[in-house]
Structure 1
């Protein structure tokens, strides 16, 4: 990363050497004097588009402004619109790219990354991910998904679009099943998690959802609970009872009581509301 304090000091020294005020420099660059002041205090960096103008005003090279950081040569080629040629003939590290990335627009970072993305591991991209467009991140993610699988994307997950995450999740689910989504579940949409949960429920039953419950909607859990109750009875809900809404538990408990009496509630009692338990107790007493 460029040392903003050093860059700011260089600009200040060059400005003073030529007897130009902060306001004068700002006017010539078409910006506010506060922007120049922020540069010189090392709080911000000049936009890449301003560097050639600053160099021209002070009659110096961009190197003298940026203090020959690792990414300076790459930055100069970008300004000269010779990026592709430079990248074809020179090895560029992600350290160099990450150094200049804060100065660039997303599409400019994309141009560099597009030319070097096949040379690095997925973990290496974290240093530049905040500066790359979502579209490019998604392309890189899909590339590594095919090479290394869904869990390889975990370090990049916060930067990948929800659409891409869902697509990879569905493909992984089709091949490996619901539990293969555990690591990435926090980044998958609830809609997709519900879809996979319902398909898993249809094939493997209610208890197969237990490891993924925190990421499944209450509506889906309740829907599966009601179907399970109809097919297997109240006892089949015990393992998942703490994840089922009280409303659904109470509804199933009442129906079980009507059919089988108080004994049907024994296993599920800790999860039934006090109100329903009292109601069933009164009815049992009257009987």
Structure 2
């Protein structure tokens, strides 16, 4: 485009040194700069990724994958949703979620709902999760718990914020999703683990369901579990 490093840095509100490092391959632009880079060079977001499509888009989904920085119309989203609704096997489509950077929050929610409705889509959840707002991430986790899609949830655990992880734990305990609790435990902090102890003391979860995981708790929490076991034995 005939821009100097200084001019490019000014257009992106970064330092010339950062642009120089990009050119030398010493670092990469932050992902939040991708839409601005695409707009600056008048190219599609996908061309800034290593992979590219050489064929002319033959579907709305492929068109969306190749769309430049311009506004995504609601009609295009409707076409994409129709195509996704017709998919019966996730292997039938190729979908990259960098286009989420172009979507409104409402458009993201519609695409996410459609993708989750496709059989075999659990492994895709971690690919679009990054692009969602905090509230949307929480809603996705709630829906996955409601439908007991533990494979997708396991992939998301390391990516969950403290708030979302706490919400996932509360739902797990309230609805007795104990199959998921085993996967969640290693990622919980002390206060979150205390929620499990409190639930056990209130009779919401049995000691037998926790005895194999006592090593995950603090010494104080293990002591509480021991007292709980003794109380149960006394009742017997």
Q: Same fold (TM over 0.5)?
A: yes
Name the structure 2 match of 1:24. 7
Aligned length in residues = 182
Equivalent position to 1:166, from 175, 194, 198? 194
Does 2:51 match 1:60? no
Secondary structure of the residue aligned to 2:30 is: coil
Change in 2 beyond 3 A, CA 1:42/1:182: farther
C-alpha change, 1:94 and 1:197, in structure 2 (3 Å) is same
- Once the two structures are TM-superposed, the CA of residue 60 in structure 1 deviates from its matched residue by 1.7
Q: CA deviation at 1:124?
A: 1.9
Find the counterpart in structure 1 of residue 79 from structure 2: none
Structure 1 residue 70: Cα displacement: 1.7
User: What is the DSSP-based 3-state SS (H/G/I as helix, E as strand, rest coil) of the residue aligned with 1:195?
Assistant: helix
Matching residue of 2:101: 75
Q: Which runs of 5+ in 2 are unaligned?
A: 52-64, 66-94
Post-superposition Cα deviations, 1:180-226, rounded to whole Å, max 9, x if no partner, equal 32233233233222122234346648xxxxxxxxxxxxxxxxxxxxx
Q: CA offset at residue 82 of structure 1?
A: 3.2
What do residues 108-149 of structure 1 show as CA deviations (whole Å, max 9, x unaligned)?
255145146424623322333333221112212332334444
Question: What is aligned with 2:184?
Answer: 156
In structure 2, the partner of 1:12 is none
Q: Confirm whether residue 133 of structure 1 aligns to residue 116 of structure 2.
A: no
TM-score (norm 2): 0.59
TM-score (norm 1): 0.50
Find the residue that maps to 1:19 and give its secondary structure. Answer: coil
8 Å CA contact 2:137, 2:164 repeated in 1:
no
More helix by share: 1
SS at match of 1:20: coil
Taking the aligned partners of 1:42 and 1:70, their CA distance within structure 2 comes to 26
Say which one has the larger Rg: 1
RMSD of equivalent CA atoms = 3.5
* Aligned 8 A contact 1:138 1:161 in 2: no
